[in-house]
């Protein structure tokens, strides 16, 4: 009996009854890497999901169908623009549809705990209110296209070091006030159709191994009725079926095999009613995304490069750029007075569109800063370029000059079921460059040996540099002679997969003739990533750098180019090799080995007219900041990053970005110092020692000390100036949930060019005798539309009791203190930027349920 066209999501109870137990169990896990299980007998289709938060990558992790790459969420957060977040979400929904996917695995709303978070760029902010507010709009925009948002990673996925096994000790108060808060906001105000559970243990248990987070809080307290899926490989127990985890991803299942689930049923650990609840949530998601009607049939992936998406990406990217220093108004660049510009730095001719890992994708195109400058200014201004520093963590993939045995560009991979490559391969695949992986490739399951070959013809002779590595033992041959061997499995399989692998490095003398290159590799015998998905996988990386490029004195070249130019623009930062899912950063210094800091210091000494553009998702140390007249933070701005940056440098876009994070001078100054990331590598234990004092909440305690923050949360300069006046307040903080406080203020553009300003309102609670509270917390914000010179706009914001409350651990309730609450109207979290102080009096302490 086919039931493909259901009338409403509420009517699926009858359909669940028609499923056999085996069919229901099969639906509790993915069919493969990206699809849910279908039951053809009853007309239940499968549903495809896709990464990720800044683009719809589709079914291939590498070299797949091209897609639009939007700014990373931290860049979007820097806009403080709800409307823009809504538009980006909607466009991402349209992109997901082109990949035949109706679930997008984003947004990431975990708060930034440390400046060393390898995946910080993928999440919005250190502040839960800003994170939640923008995620709400992102989710609404996405689901307007009938594409499910997947709010992740629930919960406490702030670090990537040992994320599969680490146990995080977090107070209930910190969980409630900081880490649960953005998830709560989105669950209650945006109705997301999916949540994703995380890998780490929280206070001793995985998220799906107890009832607390998924059943008691998410579904019980917050009223969430959508689907919860695991992160890939994060399902920890069959009992997650009872504890609220609907879907184990990916397939085939590890925790929800028929044998394990039936065993749990027989042991009384779960019930068939628990299974039915999970199946019902899966069916409801299929209905919401249209899989029972107009979207029933699979869709072939398409690359659709929409002009309106290009424009949106460029606007969002430029609006997220934060101007942090601009001495003597060196910016915007006066092109009429500038005849020669030196574009310098390792990121000048590199398009830092995205970070590494799940956020990476094959972009429709990428625009580097050099591309943008040459296209727009190349006819009128002399543009020179110098790299200035090498920051390779691994050598780039060997690609140019490679031809495989089928006479096509690239490499040939031959897969064998035997320990030696001495029989006919059971499968042969082509790859464009010197890297491949079997992970997520269901065609090569069980490979015991992979032979990876190409014929390489150098463009120039020389003693060139090669690097190679594999997940398991690997050998490199040139013209059938072994030239290098990796004897042991790689230390960190997940790091390898994400492109930050350790490598064997050699030099080899090449002449101007073809060379046969062959690598042979085997799977790692045991998991060295702590993630079972990496077990028995094969991967290879073969990198190459010419002798000329490696040994060139790029620093001296950059200094000379700077000295002879009217203006030097330095592009520094991280690449996907350095900032990626899977590994936290080891320090706040720019890579590698001080080379970029030395470059900046040398260039500004040669030419005082130097602008520095930093492209990272995190703050970095700035030992040269006092000597540089202009400094901008560009984040990862998507495929239009070069154009977005140049729009700001030329003044075609007046900068309006604000820092969604605090910018410390040093990592040692942060509240989590010594208790994050690599600090917990050996112990697999980390304690959130700073408790609720995250980001600016921590730095407010260091006011006027030598550890005071370098740039405060919410800070950002403009090319124009604004004046605040006539701030007023009405309403009250009261126990009724619908009671609001309203703040209004007039904002005037008193400068000479159009611009936008962000009004930030903070609540400063009364100081209590028994409990230390943050000095202040963001309660509301609003960004003006573009104000013309002399124009005045009345800005109004509102907030309720939630923003003034703290979590009472003893009573397990929210509590609002009695007394005077100062309401600070400001342009950043720093007291020097406060424009008005208003007050609200709470006559009597009151509490309310979560």
Residues marked active site are found at: 231
Report helix, strand or coil for 240. helix
How long is the chain? 850
| DSSP code for 701 | G
Q: What single-letter DSSP state applies at residue 381?
A: S
Residue with tokens 């020692």: 689
Do 78 and 657 form a contact (C-beta atoms < 8 A)? yes
Query: Quick check: helix, strand or coil at residue 640?
Result: coil
By the 8 A CB rule, do 292 and 5 touch?
A: yes
CB-count burial class (<10 Å; 0-12, 13-18, 19+) for 708 = middle
- Phi first, then psi, for residue 67 (nearest 5°) are -145, 160
Which long-range contacts link 694-697 to residues 24+ away (Cβ below 8 Å)?
694/111, 694/112, 694/113, 694/126, 694/174, 694/178, 695/111, 695/112, 695/126, 695/127, 695/661, 695/662, 696/126, 696/127, 696/662, 696/829, 697/774, 697/775, 697/777
Query: Residues 650, 613: contact at Cβ < 8 Å?
Result: no
Q: What is the distance between the alpha carbons of residues 772 and 300, in angstroms, rounded to a whole number?
A: 56
**ω into 474 cis (within 30 of 0):** no
Rg over CA atoms, the chain = 27
Helix axes 595-606, 554-563, angle to 10 degrees: 30
Phi-psi region of 299 (alpha: psi -120 to 50; beta: other; left: phi over 0): beta
- Beta-strand ranges (E) seen in 522-587 are 539-545, 567-573
Task: Tell me phi and psi for residue 765, to 5 degrees.
Answer: -75, 165
Query: From the CB of residue 358, how many other CB atoms can be counted at a distance below 10 Å?
Result: 24
Task: Give the count of beta carbons closer than 10 Å to the beta carbon of residue 740.
Answer: 17
Cβ neighbour number for residue 273 with a 10 Å cutoff: 8
| Contacts for 755 with CB less than 8 Å, ≥ 6 apart | 654, 656, 718, 719, 720, 722, 749, 786, 787
> Which strand ranges, in their side-by-side order, compose the sheet holding 777-783?
777-783, 758-764, 819-826, 834-842
Run of H or E residues at 464: strand 462-470
Sheet strand arrangement including 610-615: 322-326, 630-633, 610-615, 567-573, 340-344, 382-386
Three-point CA angle 598, 604, 610, nearest 5°: 125
Could you tell me if 321 and 80 are in contact, meaning their C-beta atoms sit under 8 angstroms apart? no
Closest CA to 186 of 142, 138, 241: 138
- What is the separation of C-alpha 468 from the centre of its chain, rounded to a whole number of angstroms? 28
Question: Which CA distances in Å does 20 have to 268, 613, 745?
Answer: 19, 60, 62
The tokens 């279908």 sit on which residue?
Answer: 38
The Cα angle at residue 214 between residues 209 and 217, in degrees rounded to 5: 125
């Amino acid at each position: 009996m086919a039931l493909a066209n259901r009338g409403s999501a509420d009517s699926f109870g009858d359909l669940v009854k028609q499923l056999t137990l085996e069919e229901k169990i099969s639906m509790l896990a993915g069919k493969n890497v990206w699809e849910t299980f279908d039951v053809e007998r009853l007309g239940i289709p499968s549903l495809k999901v896709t990464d990720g938060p800044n683009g719809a990558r589709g079914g291939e992790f590498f070299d797949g169908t091209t897609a639009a790459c939007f700014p990373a969420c931290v860049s979007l957060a820097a806009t403080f623009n709800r409307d823009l977040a809504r538009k980006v979400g909607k466009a991402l929904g349209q992109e997901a549809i082109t990949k035949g996917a109706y679930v997008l695995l984003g947004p990431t709303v975990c708060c930034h705990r440390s400046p060393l978070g390898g995946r910080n760029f993928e999440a919005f902010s250190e502040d839960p209110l800003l994170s939640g507010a923008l995620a709400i709009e992102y989710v609404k925009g996405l689901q307007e296209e009938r594409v499910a948002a997947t709010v992740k990673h629930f919960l406490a996925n702030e670090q990537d070091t040992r994320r599969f096994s680490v146990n995080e000790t977090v107070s209930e108060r910190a969980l409630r006030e900081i880490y649960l808060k953005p998830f709560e906001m989105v669950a209650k105000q945006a109705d997301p159709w999916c949540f994703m559970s995380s890998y780490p243990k929280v206070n001793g248990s995985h998220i799906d191994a107890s009832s607390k987070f998924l059943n008691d809080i998410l579904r019980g307290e917050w009223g969430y009725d959508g689907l919860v899926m695991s992160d890939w490989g994060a399902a920890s127990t069959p009992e997650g079926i009872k504890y609220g985890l609907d879907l184990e991803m990916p397939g085939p299942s590890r925790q929800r095999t028929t044998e394990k689930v039936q065993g749990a049923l027989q042991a009384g650990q779960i019930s068939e009613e628990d299974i039915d609840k999970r199946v019902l949530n899966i069916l409801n998601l299929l209905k919401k995304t249209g899989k029972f009607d107009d979207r029933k049939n699979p869709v072939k992936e398409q690359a659709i490069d929409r002009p309106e998406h290009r424009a949106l990406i460029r606007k969002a990217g430029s609006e997220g750029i934060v101007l942090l220093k601009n001495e003597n108004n060196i910016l915007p660049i006066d092109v009429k007075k500038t005849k020669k510009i030196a574009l310098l730095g390792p990121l000048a001719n590199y398009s830092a569109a995205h970070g590494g890992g799940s956020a990476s994708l094959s972009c429709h195109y990428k625009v580097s800063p050099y591309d943008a400058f040459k296209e727009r200014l190349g006819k009128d201004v002399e543009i020179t370029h110098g790299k200035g520093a090498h920051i390779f963590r691994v050598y780039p993939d060997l690609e140019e000059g490679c031809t495989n045995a089928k006479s096509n560009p690239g490499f040939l991979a031959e897969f064998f079921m035997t320990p030696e490559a001495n029989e006919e391969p059971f499968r042969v695949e082509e790859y464009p460059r010197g890297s491949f992986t079997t992970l997520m490739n269901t065609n090569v399951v069980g490979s015991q040996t992979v032979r990876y070959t190409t014929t390489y013809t150098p463009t120039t002779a020389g003693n060139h540099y090669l690097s190679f590595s594999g997940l398991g033992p690997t050998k490199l041959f040139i013209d059938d002679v072994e030239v290098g061997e990796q004897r042991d499995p790689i230390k960190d399989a997940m790091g390898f997969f994400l492109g930050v692998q350790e490598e064997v490095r050699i030099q080899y003398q090449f002449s101007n003739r073809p060379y046969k290159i062959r690598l042979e590799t085997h799977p790692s015998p045991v998991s060295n990533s702590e993630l079972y998905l990496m077990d028995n996988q094969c991967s290879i990386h073969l990198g190459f750098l010419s002798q000329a490029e490696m040994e060139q004195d790029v620093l001296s070249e950059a200094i000379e180019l700077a000295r002879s130019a009217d203006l030097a623009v330095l592009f520094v930062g991280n690449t996907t090799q350095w900032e990626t899912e899977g590994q936290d950063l080891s320090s706040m210094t720019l890579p590698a080995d001080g080379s970029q800091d030395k470059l900046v210091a040398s260039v500004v000494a040669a030419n005082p007219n130097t602008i520095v553009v930093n492209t990272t998702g995190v703050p970095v140390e700035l030992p040269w900041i006092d000597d540089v007249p202009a400094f901008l933070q560009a984040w990862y701005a998507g495929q239009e990053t070069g154009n977005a940056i140049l729009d700001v440098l030329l003044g075609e876009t007046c900068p309006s970005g604000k820092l969604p994070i605090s910018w410390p001078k040093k990592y040692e100054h942060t509240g989590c110092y010594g208790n994050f990331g690599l600090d917990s590598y050996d112990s697999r234990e980390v304690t959130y020692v700073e408790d609720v004092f995250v980001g600016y909440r921590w730095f407010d305690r260091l006011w006027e000390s030598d550890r005071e923050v370098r740039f405060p949360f919410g800070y950002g300069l403009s090319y124009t100036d604004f004046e605040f006046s006539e701030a007023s307040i009405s309403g009250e903080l009261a126990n009724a949930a619908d009671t609001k406080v309203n703040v209004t203020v007039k904002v005037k553009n008193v400068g000479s060019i159009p611009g936008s300003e962000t009004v930030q309102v903070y609540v400063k609670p009364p100081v209590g005798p028994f409990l230390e509270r943050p000095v202040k917390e963001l309660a509301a914000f609003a960004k003006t539309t573009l104000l013309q010179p002399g124009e005045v706009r009345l800005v109004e914001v509102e907030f309720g009791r939630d923003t003034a409350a703290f979590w009472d651990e003893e009573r397990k309730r929210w509590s609002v203190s009695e007394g005077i609450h100062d309401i600070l109207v400001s342009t950043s979290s720093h007291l020097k930027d406060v424009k008005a102080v208003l007050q609200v009096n709470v006559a009597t302490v009151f509490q309310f349920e979560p």
